[in-house]
Amino acid sequence: MPNPLFAPKTYELPFTSPFDAVGVAKTRSDASSIHNPTTASGGTITSLHPATLTAATEFLTATRNPAESMEPDKLAIGSKEEMILVERIVGDGPTKEIEVVAYEPSTGLIMAGVSSGAGKAPTPYSLKAKSGRDGVAILVAVLTAARTCDELDSQLNELADLMKGTGHIPATEERLSIVGAIISDNIYRRVEGAKTFNEGIGININDIKNTNVPVITGLRIKNGSFSPDTVLTGEFTILERDSTASKSRKAGVPGADLPGMFSFSNRDFSPAEQFLIPTIPSWYVIPNEIVKLCRHAKATTGKSITMRNFMLRGPAGVGKTEGARAIACALNLPYLSLTCNANTEIFDMLGQMLPDVDDNDGVGSSGISNIDTDFHNVSLPTLQDIQMDPATAYEKMTGVYDEDITEDIVYQQLIKTASSITRTDDNKQVGAGQRYKYVDTPLIKAMKHGYCIEIQEPSVIANPGVLVGLNSLLDNTQQITLPTGETITRHPDTVVIVTTNNAYAGCRDVNQSVISRMNLVFDFDEPTDKDMIARAKAVTGCNDDEALDLMVSVIRDIQQRCQETRITDGVCGMRELFSWVQSYMITNDMMESAMFTILSSVSADPEYREDILNTCVKPKIA
């Protein structure tokens, strides 16, 4: 008797896209799995299995092709130790249900249930015809574990290419039929003949008696028996221990698959622009928040309101800038960044009049002499003059000394004065004794040319009105007037990403008018210990698990101590961990390396550093 997953009635279930096309043959005599004992002799009729192929397409869409749809995540896949965990949303609105599955490949143990929502205990999952359960959720768990077979892995990769229409093999219905037949036969043969295959090939599934699958109980969910340690894709809502569980787990989009995945523009970039499009390491797994953000950017292209303004918040070292670069990579856009500081003013955002230093014996690159005899009595201050003594710089241009004058006002006066006494050649201001030229900032370049611009840490700006001055570029107007008088219109492809935190000394809350113009705002939580170790391995190449575990433990203790004692003038996170690990690989002395990496970064106060050394570092590092 076949496993209920492959009962005759399951072959009568409807096919889903792309296998529902009329031209996709549902049986074949020329395609079967290498694990089919009759393949060699020929004459085998292979039937495509609807549930297996639905599971395959949903698996690939969730893990390889997240740009296929803007629908909320329908599938979550993760693991707890050796157990594969799956949540699958079925239906919508009042009929929405969530199928949950726990599968342990080594023992064949499989449990399942159906929940109506978070906090609702699952009811039994039955494969009986009347229940409407098609086994897809179970088969997703099986597929996740079954890719150790080279044949299945290659066929799933080919199916992914066919689904995207970008593979080297044309996405014909004939090819879909062949691939579907091999995948269906592969899973069927490895389940039915599990005991006859070598380890890693046979798919062990305990007998599902009377089509009833052992149920996942609400009690075991509450005590964390099925709370995932790692997440391949999606977000779990039922199998989490509680509603406060971290939402910062990673989605299964490897860096190697990311370039151009969510591209919404067919523009041809110059070699210089192509150089600005980031590349992402193949080991880097893209956060789920980034995948969702990119999906929104692509799906709203061409709409009356496009989503192009985003904010990423979180403590230092959690991957905000890596996330911004990943966004540019996925959207296939050149990436620029602008880093803020306490003294950032609006002209730092919009562009500056800078001295033209491309001179040769008093003659600039435009061939015009710096000395204009008509204005030999005019002396303009330099930018350093303005920063050091704005009142005197203002007096030099206007004859008025004002102790309360601001750098911003003086700078505006410099532009006005230079414009009134100069003539322009190729946008270069030529004046008496000193020539100035207007220089675009990265922000203005991105706005003009349709790039991805990251504005880093605006919360440290002392003047809260600086970022507000950009609101016209962020709202529907999308225009701004530059200090030169030029009005620019934001390019429709421009993506603005604000990365910020408000958990450190000197940080301020971002103005609400700015936040209201952000289409999406994502909060990045601290990575788990396991994530920190994995990232440290990938970045540094260190494979000493015992040392990494100890170093992460020390980092956590330091963070806790800083919270307890209100030490806020330093940082101790992922970047400091990377530096510590790299130094340790050179010195082979964990304590020595700690002194000038994590301890030197945690505070500028010697007494605070001594406290951290004695309470957090020395007790764990002899």
| Joined tokens for residue 14 | 């409807």
Task: Determine the pLDDT at residue 280.
Answer: 81
- Whether residues 94 and 133 fall in one domain: yes
485 in a structural domain: no
Tally DSSP H helices, then E strands, for the chain.
22, 24
| b/e burial code for range 486-522 (CB count within 10 A of at least 16 → b) | eebebbebbbbbbbbbeeeeebeebbeebeebbbeeb
Backbone angles phi, psi at 197, to 5 degrees: -95, 160
Tracing tokens 């764990």 back to the chain, one arrives at: 620
- Whether residues 301 and 382 fall in one domain: no
Q: Which of 35-39, 226-230, 495-499, 514-518 has the highest mean pLDDT?
A: 495-499
Question: Average of pLDDT values for 281-303?
Answer: 82
Q: End of a domain among 337, 371, 400?
A: 337
pLDDT grade for 507, boundaries at 50, 70 and 90? low
- Whether residues 74 and 157 fall in one domain: yes
Task: Spell out the SS3 assignment of 435-458.
Answer: CEEEECCHHHHHHHHCCEEEEECH
The Cα 219–Cα 599 span in angstroms is 44
The Cα 245–Cα 241 span in angstroms is 7
- Whether residues 221 and 280 fall in one domain: no
- Whether residues 309 and 203 fall in one domain: no
* Nearest by Cα to 149 from 181, 185, 173, 175: 185
Tracing tokens 């803007």 back to the chain, one arrives at: 70
Task: Determine the pLDDT at residue 242.
Answer: 43
586 in a structural domain: yes
Write the DSSP symbol of residue 313: E
Q: Please tell me the chain's helix, strand, coil percentages from 3-state DSSP, rounded to the nearest 5.
A: 40, 15, 45
pLDDT grade for 598, boundaries at 50, 70 and 90? very high
122 in a structural domain: yes
57 in a structural domain: yes
- Whether residues 40 and 137 fall in one domain: yes
Question: Average of pLDDT values for 311-320?
Answer: 80
Please work out, in degrees rounded to the nearest 5, the angle formed at the alpha carbon of residue 225 by the alpha carbons of 220 and 228.
130
pLDDT grade for 283, boundaries at 50, 70 and 90? low
Task: Determine the pLDDT at residue 617.
Answer: 94
The Cα-based distances of 269 to 76, 291, 334 in angstroms read 36, 24, 9
* Nearest by Cα to 57 from 131, 155, 125: 155
Q: Which residues pair with 103 in a beta bridge?
A: 84, 110
512 in a structural domain: no
> For residue 281, is the peptide bond before it cis, meaning its omega torsion is within 30 degrees of 0?
no
Task: Determine the pLDDT at residue 127.
Answer: 83
493 in a structural domain: no
Report which of residues 210 and 87 the model is more confident about. Answer: 87
Task: Determine the pLDDT at residue 493.
Answer: 94
| Joined tokens for residue 154 | 């290659």
The Cα 413–Cα 257 span in angstroms is 51
pLDDT grade for 361, boundaries at 50, 70 and 90? very low
Question: Average of pLDDT values for 492-508?
Answer: 76
- Whether residues 118 and 78 fall in one domain: yes
Q: What value does the mean pLDDT of the chain take?
A: 80
Domains in the chain, number: 4
Write the DSSP symbol of residue 70: -
- Whether residues 160 and 284 fall in one domain: no
394 in a structural domain: yes
Walk across the sheet containing 452-456 and list its strands. Answer: 335-339, 452-456, 495-500, 309-313, 520-523
The Cα 100–Cα 87 span in angstroms is 5
Task: Determine the pLDDT at residue 329.
Answer: 92
Read off the pLDDT of residues 19-29 as tens digits, 9 standing for 90 and up: 998 889 999 99
- Whether residues 196 and 228 fall in one domain: yes
Least confident residue range of 93-107, 328-342, 373-387, 406-420: 373-387
Residue 593 lies in domain: 529-617
- Whether residues 60 and 148 fall in one domain: yes
The three-state secondary structure class of 120 is: coil
Task: Determine the pLDDT at residue 256.
Answer: 62
Q: End of a domain among 337, 368, 399?
A: 337
- Whether residues 534 and 610 fall in one domain: yes
Question: Average of pLDDT values for 108-134?
Answer: 82
Question: Average of pLDDT values for 582-591?
Answer: 94
C-beta atoms surrounding 384 within 10 Å: 10
Question: Average of pLDDT values for 33-59?
Answer: 85
Q: Over 80: is that where the pLDDT of 171 sits?
A: no
* Nearest by Cα to 49 from 113, 131, 138: 138
Burial class from Cβ neighbours inside 10 Å (0-12, 13-18, 19+) for residue 412 reads middle
Q: Over 80: is that where the pLDDT of 40 sits?
A: no
Task: Determine the pLDDT at residue 552.
Answer: 93
C-beta atoms surrounding 43 within 10 Å: 7
Report which of residues 47 and 387 the model is more confident about. Answer: 47
C-beta atoms surrounding 342 within 10 Å: 10
- Whether residues 147 and 228 fall in one domain: yes
Its pTM stands at: 0.54
519 in a structural domain: no
Q: Which of 133-142, 342-351, 428-437 has the highest mean pLDDT?
A: 133-142
Read off the pLDDT of residues 266-277 as tens digits, 9 standing for 90 and up: 899 998 999 999
The Cα 170–Cα 500 span in angstroms is 45
Task: Determine the pLDDT at residue 457.
Answer: 84
Least confident residue range of 367-371, 511-515, 603-607: 367-371
Task: Determine the pLDDT at residue 495.
Answer: 94
Q: Over 90: is that where the pLDDT of 51 sits?
A: yes
Question: Average of pLDDT values for 336-365?
Answer: 67
Q: Over 60: is that where the pLDDT of 430 sits?
A: no
Euclidean distance between the first and the last CA atom of the chain, given in angstroms as a whole number: 63
Q: End of a domain among 374, 404, 439?
A: 439
Question: Average of pLDDT values for 11-24?
Answer: 91
